[in-house]
């Protein structure tokens, strides 16, 4: 009989009254031994359940506590109270799962995000995380919808890889060899990975791009959407050790096509969330407004969360070259007054997030696509420009976050590619399979990587990336 339940979202969306319904969910609050606020996760809104006086025995009433799971049946009637159109007049309440009110860590009050991170296994049951993870779901769905409509093939690239040459970040090792010092050794004392599970040294992937390129040389347009691992010791609000990345790779695309696709893609998925998660976005917008009130006037943002999203989907991203960006930064009063931690003094340096954020938040006040970076600060596979100094790279920078996309046109010319690999000391033998794409039917192609959690951060307005993935992994933390 469990399948007979009606989801609270569906109940609240309909204007129908005077019919029998059964609901199930978790008690948020219980007032006056009479009013239950019930949530089943289908929406942020609770259903009010009214218990007719005298209809439940004392024992059952005592077991209706915050956090308890219940099943309630009765008639849906117009609500007499304020704040809701309908309510459930319960004739029957069954306790499915008790919750000791003394011990349940989530009390009906505001908890800090830091505290909730320590009880990440329970935080789904709060309004904030309910909204965040429903939006995360919508964005994931929209990503598949966008690429599917465009005829892209969803490609599953390996999570365990043997290549560690890509250089996107520090890697986690994968091994079944014993860690107690008894692992087999080579004559020179190094670990003999020939004895390891895969017969060679393996790692967790930092990017599916190289494998993605191989498939693009057959299907024309592919995308990956999977977990990515970086053992980088960066304790920032934008880095995780385990995150999800979307990596489209397209044959017959140049840098311009690549940028346009990325912009269309980002706007599409944001628009999707705005159309399908209105209540949750309203809630998070309000939440952020409250949070902003704690800040001094000059640090508050000019736009609300919803206004910011609206602005991004309705305006063109700014496209500028790295060289122009360096000029803007160098000449900025911020730089001259030495307000940057890293002063911009010459062409060629890598931009820090403070510089990216200055360009986006202070100078252009909109998302910016930076192109044509110096080849020295970019990966070996990026296509070399005719100037001999820059590569056809593009990064998309978003307000409040910094880099959300990194991409490029790829170097399809075998000689140029191998030459660059040698310059960067990347072993060509190890990536021979990759080089085959350049040997057999190479073509101009391009792609990018979007960090999923960064876009979830952007859409939800959450300040810390650890609050937009269910169970975050970061240095010194892998609980749950």
Site residues for ligand ATP per CB under 6 A: 168-169, 230, 232, 238-240, 243, 245, 403-406, 449-451, 453-454
For the chain, the helix, strand and coil percentages under 3-state DSSP, each to the nearest 5: 35, 25, 40
CA angle 111/116/121 to nearest 5° reads 135
Nearer to ligand ATP, 67 or 406 (CB): 406
Smallest separation, CB 245 to ligand ATP (Å): 5
- In the chain the first and final C-alpha atoms are separated, in Å, by 32
Nearer to ligand ATP, 86 or 143 (CB): 143
Smallest separation, CB 443 to ligand ATP (Å): 23
Q: For helices 305-314 and 255-276, what crossing angle results, to 10°? A: 140
Alpha-carbon distance 311 to 117, whole Å?
31
Nearer to ligand ATP, 36 or 246 (CB): 246
Alpha-carbon distance 117 to 120, whole Å?
5
Nearer to ligand ATP, 74 or 208 (CB): 208
Using alpha carbons, select from 49, 61, 38 the residue that is nearest to residue 88: 49
What count of Cα atoms within 13 Å lies in the side-chain half-sphere of residue 31?
7
CA angle 38/44/49 to nearest 5° reads 20
Smallest separation, CB 20 to ligand ATP (Å): 48
Nearer to ligand ATP, 74 or 451 (CB): 451
Nearer to ligand ATP, 193 or 381 (CB): 381
Smallest separation, CB 91 to ligand ATP (Å): 50
Nearer to ligand ATP, 86 or 216 (CB): 216
Smallest separation, CB 450 to ligand ATP (Å): 6
**b or e along 49-64 (b: 16 or more beta carbons within 10 Å of the residue's beta carbon)?**
bbbeeeebeeeeeebb
CA-derived radius of gyration, the chain: 27
Q: How far from 147 is each of 222, 254, 317, 445, 459, CA to CA, in Å?
A: 8, 18, 21, 17, 19
Smallest separation, CB 85 to ligand ATP (Å): 41
Nearer to ligand ATP, 74 or 406 (CB): 406
Alpha-carbon distance 93 to 269, whole Å?
41
Smallest separation, CB 396 to ligand ATP (Å): 8
Report helix, strand or coil for 73.
strand
For residues 22 and 75, the answer to whether their CB atoms sit within 8 Å is no
Smallest separation, CB 297 to ligand ATP (Å): 30
């Amino acid at each position: 009989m469990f399948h007979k339940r009606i989801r609270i979202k569906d109940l609240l969306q309909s204007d129908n009254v005077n019919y029998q319904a059964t609901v199930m969910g978790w008690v948020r609050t219980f007032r006056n031994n009479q009013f239950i606020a019930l949530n089943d996760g289908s929406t942020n809104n609770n259903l009010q359940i009214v218990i007719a006086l005298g209809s439940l025995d004392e024992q059952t009433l005592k077991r209706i506590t915050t956090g308890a799971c219940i099943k309630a049946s009765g008639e849906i009637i117009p609500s007499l109270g304020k704040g809701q159109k309908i309510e459930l007049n319960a004739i029957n309440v069954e306790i499915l799962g008790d919750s000791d009110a003394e011990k349940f860590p989530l009390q009906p009050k505001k908890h800090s995000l830091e505290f909730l991170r320590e009880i990440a296994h329970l935080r789904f049951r709060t309004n904030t995380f309910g909204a965040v993870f429903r939006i995360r779901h919508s964005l994931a769905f929209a990503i598949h919808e966008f690429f599917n409509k465009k005829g892209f093939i969803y490609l599953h690239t390996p999570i365990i890889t043997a290549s560690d040459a890509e250089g996107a970040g520090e890697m986690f090792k994968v091994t079944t060899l014993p860690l107690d010092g008894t692992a087999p050794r080579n004559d020179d004392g190094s670990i003999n990975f020939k004895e390891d599970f895969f017969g060679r040294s393996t790692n967790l992937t930092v990017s599916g791009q190289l494998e993605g390129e191989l498939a693009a040389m057959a299907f024309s347009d592919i995308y990956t959407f999977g977990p990515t691992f970086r053992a980088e010791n960066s304790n920032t609000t934008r880095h995780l050790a385990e995150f999800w990345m979307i990596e489209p790779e397209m044959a017959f695309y140049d840098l311009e096509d690549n940028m346009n696709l990325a912009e269309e893609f980002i706007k599409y998925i944001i628009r999707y969330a705005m159309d399908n998660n209105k209540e949750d976005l309203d809630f998070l917008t309000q939440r952020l407004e409250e949070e902003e009130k704690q800040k001094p006037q000059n640090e508050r943002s000019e736009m609300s969360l919803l206004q910011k999203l609206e602005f991004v989907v309705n305006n063109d991203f700014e496209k500028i070259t790295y060289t122009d960006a360096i000029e803007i930064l160098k000449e900025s009063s911020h730089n001259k007054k030495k307000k940057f931690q890293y002063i911009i003094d010459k062409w060629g340096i890598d931009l820090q997030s403070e510089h990216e954020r200055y360009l986006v938040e202070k100078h252009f006040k909109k998302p910016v696509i930076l192109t044509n970076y110096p080849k020295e600060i970019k990966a070996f596979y990026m296509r070399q420009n005719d100037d001999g100094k820059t590569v056809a790279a593009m990064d998309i920078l978003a307000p409040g976050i910094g880099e959300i996309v990194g991409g490029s046109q790829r170097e399809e010319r075998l000689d140029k590619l191998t030459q660059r690999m040698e310059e960067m000391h990347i072993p060509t033998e190890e990536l021979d399979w990759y080089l085959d794409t350049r040997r057999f039917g190479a073509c101009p192609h391009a792609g990018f990587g979007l960090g999923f959690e960064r876009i979830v951060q952007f859409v939800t307005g959450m300040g810390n990336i650890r609050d937009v993935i269910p169970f975050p992994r970061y240095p010194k933390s892998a609980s749950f």
